[in-house]
Chains A and B, each alone.
Chain A
Amino acid sequence: MDNFLAARSQMALSLGFHIIFSCIGMVMPFFMAVAHYYYLKTDKIVYKNVTKAWSKGVAIFFATGAVSGTVLSFELGLLWPKFMEHAGPIFGMPFSLEGTAFFIEAIALGFFLYGWDRFNKWFHWFTGVIVGVSGLASGILVVAANAWMNSPAGFDFVDGQYINVDPIKAMFNKAWFSQSLHMSLAAFAATGFAVAGVHALMIIRRQNVYFHTKSFTIAAVFGCVAAVLQPLSGDISAKDVAKRQPAKLAAMEAHFFTEKSAGLVIGGIPDPKNKKVDYGIKIPGLLSFMAHGDFSSEVTGLDKFPEKNQPPVPVTHYAFQIMVGLGMAMMAVSFLYFFALWKKKTWLQSDWLLKLFVAATPLGFLAVEAGWTVTEVGRQPWIIYNVMRTADAVTPMPGIGYSFYMFTLMYFSLAAIVIFMLYRQIKMVPKLYDLPEGAQK
């Protein structure tokens, strides 16, 4: 396997797995804290059970998220030493703060998981909230570091030298807000839908309906609120990308030629050789509007960039279409759910709505993966946008292919075990958490 491709594949694989583990580890504590709050307020034992069941999931995902994150902090150097040599001191600020946030999260998790009946109950609840808040903070900080790669700031690049370094400016680069907002909402939507989907399935199967209904409601409300808000942040991101990384936007949209009142292409098969899109649906003027808020504005096409600076169009375009499509589907389910909550309570008990949620279980995570593909592939061939090429950053050590195969095996076995364990957690619900109807308060 080609070394450069192997390094990129290994990085993609590691990030692809880490993002799932860490999203769940970051968001589920909030679900847990809500269930815990209900328990403390209402004294209903079912909420205590939901909290405990979820906390086991949190422990599993936190551990896998933490180790895969540790791996990433080393892989940055193992695979991209030239990048880290220059970028480390510039974009390191969010990483050092993230270390703090993550440390607090680990401590708080120790208190929360082992603290039942040992501390003041509100202090115990509070440590659970801290797990969520510090997890979210570390997520935001890491994304801010990634945003710097898309929107390098806080230094001057003169004759191959990185001078006048300002780590604070680097952290608050132009992309940090839009990227972090988009990712945080995505994490809530994806985890909400995934958790809701699993509980929905159990309700359909008429197993421990009371337990699963309570769980479902908390997860579904979180997921649906995030899914409805997400398009707003998507719009902020689109305008931002259009301004900062026009080549990425052009690749996302397979927009080959610069033009005024550019049309939005939905679907289709990009043909980079002949610079056209086959079978796509084109909505006139909409791309101009989405990029610049004006139907007649000019949108930069790929023709403005030399061929060697263009990102791969088909991958970026497909990934973007998939992300948007899945996001829309989740939004549609969310509207149905809110409508049911508001006007049609009977829908909530009907199988078809639950089945929709079951079908939507993986959508959020597929969208997250697709979204990261857009961010990362769309930035190519740059590792630091317009400053350093990815190919120049790769490690000189040959044989990364073997490392890639090893990590692939590792991550896939890990994923298999985690799925297997979650299956067993759910299977054990009747034994561990279910109570006869009369015992329910």
Chain B
Amino acid sequence: MLYVVIIYLWTSILLYLLLGGADFGAGIIELFTSKANKIQTRKTLYEAIGPIWEANHMWLIIAIVILFVGFPVIYSTMSVYLHIPLTIMLLGIIARGTAFTFRHYDAVKDDMQDLYNPIFAYSSFVTPFFLGIIAGSAVSGHIDLKADNFLDAYIFSWLHWFSVSVGLFTVAICGFLAAVFLIGETDNEHDRLRFIRKAKAFNIAAVICGSLVFVSSLIEDIPLIDWVFGNIVGIIAITAATLSLAVLWYLMYKGKANILRILAGFQVTMILLTTTYRHYPNIVILKNGGYLSLIEHSGHEKTIEALAMALLIGSIFILPALFYLIYSFQKKKVDYATD
């Protein structure tokens, strides 16, 4: 049953990265869109994520609940040492979610939009940036349970080159996912080309940030190269991702939206797989070389059983409904005005 829970945890993180990530990415794209195209971009992204954006963010809740129910020591350790980035991410989540809703449900469309729009766009950047920082910090070996001063315990646990570059990498990935997704969401050629250019730009940004992650791992003495290339799974996954990326670039102008989406999703899945596979089941790596493991630090047996059952039963209800929701709204695009 423990493995059921772990699979659900990994899958919710993956789905949050893919669906929530595309969602964040839409805001990031808006941030990097010229003034002239902003209105059109907003319209497209609203049509694309309006009906499903609430559901996209549920994956984070699922992951958090799994962590605190199933792996409480990991949850509480991260909560203590990564308090500051978690708090900033939370402020980002609040700002983003509410700004998104407010700008669409405000009955009067006036200057208030100038307040909602930048809040939405900037928090779309900040939130995944700190999400990346948190993920990077967890495995970076900077969390020091013996630290006796504020800076070492609560600042340097997360503020270092590695985590910052993981943060930037996460942002670039979100932008890439969203841009690829949006290519298929517009029927006019001008916008399609625009999103293709965005997808390329974010792809290049992701490659650059990805290299930064490797460079910073060398600076910080994190065995990332070994994690990724030191095992057959990592090598296969990275090769597959790279090959699929070439296919994606080739197909970008061919207008096969769904294939592009699957390829982009596949690449991100492979990246998550390689970066988590090697140090699994260790999810938090500590300064003293110790670690917090999903196997050794799992909760009581009965809790894990109950949690696994809850997750299995929950999916019976959730997954078909979610698929039907996405299917219905992909089938026929929504009118901008919901009325």
Q: Which residues of A contact B (CB under 8 A)?
A: 52, 56, 59-60, 62-64, 66-71, 73-78, 81-82, 84-86, 88-90, 92-93, 95-100, 102-104, 106-111, 113-116, 118-119, 165-168, 395-399, 403, 406-407, 410, 414, 417, 421, 424-425, 427-428, 432
Contact = CB atoms under 8 A, between A and B. Distances in A.
A60 B107 contact: no
Contact of B90 (A71, A398, A425, A432): A71
A110 B55 contact: yes
B310 A56 contact: no
Contacts, number: 209
Contacts of A395: 79-80, 83
A136 to B, nearest CB: 16
Contact of A74 (B70, B86, B101, B310): B86
B254 interface: no
Interface in B318-339: 318, 321-322, 325, 328-329, 332, 334, 338-339
Given A56-B105, A89-B300, A93-B310, A113 B51 contact: yes
Nearest to B87: A403
Nearest to A399: B150
B72 A100 contact: no
Given A84-B75, A103-B58, A107-B322, A95 B65 contact: yes
Given A88-B75, A118-B328, A398-B150, A76 B68 contact: yes
A414 B83 contact: no
Interface stretch (B264-272, B283-291, B301-309): B301-309
Contacts of B78: 77
Contacts of A73: 61, 64-65, 68
29 contacts: A52-B339, A66-B97, A68-B94, A71-B90, A74-B64, A78-B79, A78-B87, A81-B77, A88-B75, A89-B69, A92-B303, A96-B66, A99-B58, A102-B58, A103-B314, A103-B322, A104-B317, A107-B318, A111-B328, A113-B51, A114-B51, A114-B329, A115-B328, A165-B302, A166-B302, A168-B306, A406-B87, A421-B102, A428-B107
B113 to A, nearest CB: 12
B156 to A, nearest CB: 14
Instruction: Classify the interface of chain A: helix, strand, loop or mixed.
Output: helix
B100 A63 contact: yes
Contacts of A414: 94, 98
B299 interface: yes
Interface residues of B, number: 65
B54 A110 contact: yes
B58 A119 contact: no
Contacts of B325: 107, 110-111
Given A63-B98, A64-B98, A95-B69, A89 B299 contact: yes
B91 interface: yes
B58 A106 contact: yes
B83 A90 contact: no
B194 interface: no
A406 B58 contact: no
B231 interface: no
Contacts of A403: 87
- Ranked nearest first, the 3 interchain pairs of A and B with the lowest CB-CB distance are A92-B69, A77-B79, A89-B299
A410 B87 CA distance: 12
Interface in B155-182: none
A89 B310 contact: no
Interface string B42-82: 00000000111011011011101110111011011111100
A166 B303 CA distance: 7
A397 B154 contact: yes
A71 B310 CA distance: 22
Nearest to A106: B54
A85 B321 CA distance: 33
Given A52-B339, A89-B303, A100-B317, A67 B107 contact: no
Contacts of B61: 69-70, 73, 99, 102-103
Nearest to B64: A73
B76 A84 contact: yes
A67 B76 contact: no
B93 A70 contact: yes
Contacts of B317: 100, 104
B57 A66 contact: yes
B64 A96 contact: no
A142 to B, nearest CB: 12
Contacts of B300: 89-90, 165
Contacts of B75: 77, 84-85, 88
A1 to B, nearest CB: 16
A205 to B, nearest CB: 18
B79 A118 contact: no
B318 A97 contact: no
Given A73-B64, A90-B303, A96-B69, A424 B98 contact: no
B108 A103 contact: no
A313 B172 CA distance: 54
Contacts of B307: 92-93, 96, 167
Given A60-B102, A92-B70, 20 more contacts: A70-B90, A70-B93, A74-B64, A77-B79, A84-B79, A88-B68, A89-B299, A89-B300, A89-B303, A92-B299, A93-B306, A97-B310, A99-B314, A102-B58, A106-B57, A115-B328, A395-B83, A406-B87, A410-B91, A424-B108
